[in-house]
Structure 1
Amino acid sequence: MNYTLHQLQIFLKISEKESITKASEELHLTQPAVSIQLKNFQDQFPIPLTEVIGRKLYITDFGKEIAIAAQKIVDEVNQISYKTKAYQGHLSGVLKISVVSTGKYIIPYFLSDFMKQHEGVDLVLDVTNKQQVINSLEKNNVDFSLVSVLPKHLQIEKTKLMENQLYLVGNTSEKFTNKKYQKSIFSELPLIYREPGSGTRHTMETYIDKNDLPVRKKMELTSNEAVKQAVIAGLGYSIMPLIGIRNDLEAGRLQIIPVQGFPIKSIWNLIWLKNKKFSLVAEAFLKYVEEQKDEIIKDKFNLFNP
């Protein structure tokens, strides 16, 4: 067999995404290039690696076994690179972090300088909903997770990153002239929710239940960006983290509706499993965050006050 490391990496991405289109996007390759490499890789096996049913690509059972073996090969090759850099005195390895979707607005600022300082470190950053973030942490698939709602069923340790503020927001087509509205305003405004499992939705529902608010649920959407665009389009209102809407407030696409008891406040925490044995990379990143977080917050997040 004469398969290449490049073919293994492409097949792994196709296996992960179950889509040539999505794999090509993530690999920054054209679809024809990915298809050709998949065909060349397939030609070396007498058993199909993939099958297409309708217009959907599936990985066969044999293909899944090959993907597992391919991952081990790629990991071993990466280890050679990391060990070489380590012998040269460079910090090297993989840093794995899972982040709830709204956390994508803050985690890059805590990673940027660290990654620049340590070019031998590779980053795997998974941005998804709260449930998937906790699942990856529970399975010990990541070093850290970034959440605003702490899991109750796991033994964890944490370091506080920064405060998370949530406001009631709408587009700018309607004027809200009162200095402060009563909570009863919720009975008049159709609300757009995040999907079940979202940390933002959990915080939103906890506040609504605690205050026994009458609400009009308009719809639910599966990402913070989708909710934001729906609010901008005038489909309803929502309770959203300030960190994700700063640019839209400054540009006049959204407005904060001043309501008694707002903002709702929670804390962004970087968490990890209790008694976890850190790699040198994970240990260095945690040390960096704890030493630099105050300066990062002051420099990157104190420029906007609603």
Structure 2
Amino acid sequence: MARRPEAQHLAKQVTMRQLEIFLTVAELGGVVQAAEKLHLSQPSVSIQLRKLTETLGLPLYEIVGRQLTLTEAGHRMQDTCREVLDTFDRLDCDINDLKGLRAGRLRLAVDPSAKYFLPQLLGPFMAQYPGIDVDFVEGKRSDLLERLNEDRDDLYIFNHLPTGLDINHFPFLPNPLVVVANKEHALAKKKQLGLSQLSEERMLLRGQGSGSRLALDEFLTAQNIKLNRTMELDSSEAIRLSVKAGIGVGVLSAYALVNAHTEGLVKLNVKGFPLTTHWHIIHRRQKKLSTVAASFLQFVLDEAEQHLPMEQIHARMQQAVH
């Protein structure tokens, strides 16, 4: 079936680079962010956006204040960009599969706390397969779920298993949550604490929806304990620094304490803690994994403990908070 003349016009005028630039702007919400990610100047990004807009003959986005908002045409273009670029990504994966593991790209999306161990897994994997390139993004849980629903990456690492999704998931590493206080805090002198003793403290927690917060809330609900004073912070690092400043008592993944400067902090001996959840590596059930992605998944499941020996990790965790 012959394509319509206007479709032929778009196919001749629109470039792959323009599609990549527009999709990056749409996903990151701004020209500045897209230019940084693509290692381009802001004027270069703006020029390509203008050319794409002129080719379509409709505005793709509008700026209200400092907020970039896609128009209806922009949303349709975003969907088309993903479809076209995903098709070429699949072709790239198929070609690389024919080459084996000499070349290819691995796309990961991970919870920010995974940065405390992920480099130690990527390092030996990439040393074993030096032709492999890796792209990984960090994002809050809601961002990862959006990317997972849109199937934008090969594999995802969550610290609390999503529910209600058609996924394959593989637990590969324990994720202990610990309660930490400034060493001068009154509770620091207690040898044993009950959960009820935390209920009146100012508790420094990750925001609603984060993996560690979900695990904590489930635990507290099961124990029929309610925290009366909570303060939500965006990152484990913010919690650690706030605890150190004496603002309150924090709940953190023990991994956040392994390589951090933790002088002045003590781990509280609270009944029920450490609260052990697990890190999961996930992909959509219907996704056909590339040779690279399947190899990394198997590498993590087979060798994570070899590159992250658990006895040493637990010992370092203990040392980090004493």
Question: So what's the TM-score if we normalise by structure 1?
Answer: 0.81
- The verdict on how the C-alpha distance between 1:152 and 1:74 changes in structure 2, with shifts beyond 3 A counting, is closer
Structure-1 residue corresponding to 2:64: 53
Asked whether the equivalents of residues 199 and 229 of structure 2 are also in contact (C-alpha less than 8 Å), the reply is no
1:13 aligns with 2:29: no
1:284 aligns with 2:304: no
Structure-2 residue corresponding to 1:294: 305
2:46 to 28, 35, 38: 35
Q: How many residues align?
A: 305
- Report SS of the residue matched to 2:316: coil
Structure-2 residue corresponding to 1:103: 114
Structure-1 residue corresponding to 2:229: 217
2:198 to 186, 190, 203: 186
- The verdict on how the C-alpha distance between 1:132 and 1:69 changes in structure 2, with shifts beyond 3 A counting, is closer
Specify the code of the residue in structure 2 equivalent to 1:206: E
Partners of 2:259 and 2:242 lie apart in 1 by 16
2:214 to 183, 202, 205: 202
Asked whether the equivalents of residues 85 and 120 of structure 1 are also in contact (C-alpha less than 8 Å), the reply is no
Asked whether the equivalents of residues 154 and 283 of structure 2 are also in contact (C-alpha less than 8 Å), the reply is yes
Partners of 1:276 and 1:79 lie apart in 2 by 11
Specify the code of the residue in structure 1 equivalent to 2:266: Q
Deviation at 1:295, TM superposition (A): 0.6
Deviation at 1:17, TM superposition (A): 1.6
Specify the code of the residue in structure 2 equivalent to 1:215: L
Deviation at 1:166, TM superposition (A): 1.1
Asked whether the equivalents of residues 162 and 297 of structure 1 are also in contact (C-alpha less than 8 Å), the reply is no
Partners of 2:316 and 2:231 lie apart in 1 by 30
Specify the code of the residue in structure 1 equivalent to 2:255: I
Deviation at 1:222, TM superposition (A): 3.5
1:149 to 130, 148, 160: 160
Asked whether the equivalents of residues 101 and 291 of structure 2 are also in contact (C-alpha less than 8 Å), the reply is no
- Report SS of the residue matched to 1:150: coil
Q: What's the % identity of the aligned pairs?
A: 28
Deviation at 1:243, TM superposition (A): 0.4
- The verdict on how the C-alpha distance between 1:135 and 1:246 changes in structure 2, with shifts beyond 3 A counting, is same
Query: In angstroms, what is the RMSD of aligned CA positions?
Result: 3.3
Partners of 1:201 and 1:44 lie apart in 2 by 47
Deviation at 1:77, TM superposition (A): 4.9
Partners of 1:83 and 1:151 lie apart in 2 by 29
**Which stretch has the larger CA shift, 259-268 or 273-282?**
273-282
**Which stretch has the larger CA shift, 219-228 or 189-198?**
219-228
**Which stretch has the larger CA shift, 41-50 or 233-242?**
41-50
Deviation at 1:79, TM superposition (A): 5.3
Deviation at 1:51, TM superposition (A): 1.8
Deviation at 1:165, TM superposition (A): 1.2
- The verdict on how the C-alpha distance between 1:11 and 1:157 changes in structure 2, with shifts beyond 3 A counting, is closer
For each residue in 1:50-87, what CA deviation from the matched residue of structure 2 results, as whole angstroms up to 9, or x when unmatched?
22223322222223333333444444555565555455
Structure-1 residue corresponding to 2:6: none
Unmatched 5+ stretches in structure 1:
none
Specify the code of the residue in structure 1 equivalent to 2:170: T
- The verdict on how the C-alpha distance between 1:278 and 1:46 changes in structure 2, with shifts beyond 3 A counting, is closer
- Report SS of the residue matched to 1:247: coil
Structure-2 residue corresponding to 1:164: 175
Structure-2 residue corresponding to 1:127: 138
Asked whether the equivalents of residues 167 and 256 of structure 1 are also in contact (C-alpha less than 8 Å), the reply is yes
Specify the code of the residue in structure 1 equivalent to 2:20: Q
Asked whether the equivalents of residues 148 and 267 of structure 1 are also in contact (C-alpha less than 8 Å), the reply is yes
Unmatched 5+ stretches in structure 2:
1-11
**Which stretch has the larger CA shift, 41-50 or 191-200?**
41-50
Specify the code of the residue in structure 1 equivalent to 2:220: I
Specify the code of the residue in structure 1 equivalent to 2:316: F
- Report SS of the residue matched to 1:215: coil
Structure-2 residue corresponding to 1:118: 129
